Structure 1
Amino acid sequence: MHKKAQAWSVSRILFMTIFLVSCSATRSVVVLLPDSEGRVGDLRVYSSQGEVQLDQAYQSVALDPQAKSKPSSSAMERQEIANRFGDALAVEPEIPTRLDFFTLYYETDSVELTPDSSRSMEAVIAFLKQSDVREFYVIGHTDRLGSKAYNWKLSKKRAITMKRLLVAGGIPSDRISVSFLGETEPQIETDDEVQEPLNRRVRIIVKRRKETSHDRPIAP
């Protein structure tokens, strides 16, 4: 199974996304599948003709480098998926995993954690250093105070700063994926230019083996 036909990035929950890519000499086909528990992430596929977002189970997009128009998504029948990707699916290993989430909050217009979240960092890092943890995802967010462009940059700074804190705490850098969403996908919906402490945050998402169990520290 080849997992990269074109440049791509995942904006929400990469670990919940299973996708298949079929390549030929002239075009590639990307299909978004649900995981073993029926969850679907958000996959953004980029080509020279434009961007396509896949966020529903069994959505697909065909990428043709010779095409003149922007590609569009469509649903693919399960039988067609089985016909085209059956061999790849048959050998794909099934690794039971579970997901843990942490949310840490920031001061206004800052990369400084709130006092409560700062006190939680030690417990969070201790949890992340467990041997059964496989991958980490750090996602930066802001509230709607300020321009979209400014908040995009601020969410990036928060995510990168959080990664540095994790690395300083002993988490391997190459196991941490960073993304940032600015003021989009708020925890609390607000009007523009409204401060909302619960939206000034970084989410840390942990993917680990399901068969082990640990008590997760609770971030404020």
Structure 2
Amino acid sequence: MHKFSRLLPAFFITVLLFGCADQKIEPSPAEERDLFILLPDQNGKVGEITISNKAGATTLSRANESAQVTRNHIPARTGILSDRDIQEDFHDTLQAVPGTANQYILFFSSGTTKLTKESQQQLPFILNKIRERLPCEISIIGHTDTKASGEYNLSLALKRAVHVKNRLLSIGAPRKLLEVSS
């Protein structure tokens, strides 16, 4: 019993040491990895993105800078990719990125829902742009001046948006894509 009582504390100390050991989790060769690449916007401006997981975070702030992420490790910067490599490796993905929104301003005769002649002539052009951009979302937002009361202007703005929607529908715009507001 005397020998056992001397070994018992040593056993507990050993167990405690193993319990306090750094438990770094090594990635398995098949561990899933994600790649993030920070691309400039269409005007060449580069923003910033912070990629984080339970292990930590990494911030990318330079054009074409990349980071690889696994579940168990701090996201690691992997360098700056060339434009050529990005185009070759991600061509299909880049083709799916939507462009900037098109915006068209249509004018009405004062106090009415009647489009001006110039604005009426823009509708076929707008419809062609819609067809080029499919699938897309179309928001038709009605506006007015501030000469009348707020309630009247809000009502007129909505009527104008509905009128434009109906005109676009009458020349073939897809109904499910059109949304109106004022």
> TM-score, structure 2 length as denominator?
0.47
Query: Which one has a larger percent helix, Structure 1 or Structure 2?
Result: 2
Q: Which has the higher contact order (CA 8 A, sep 6+)?
A: 1
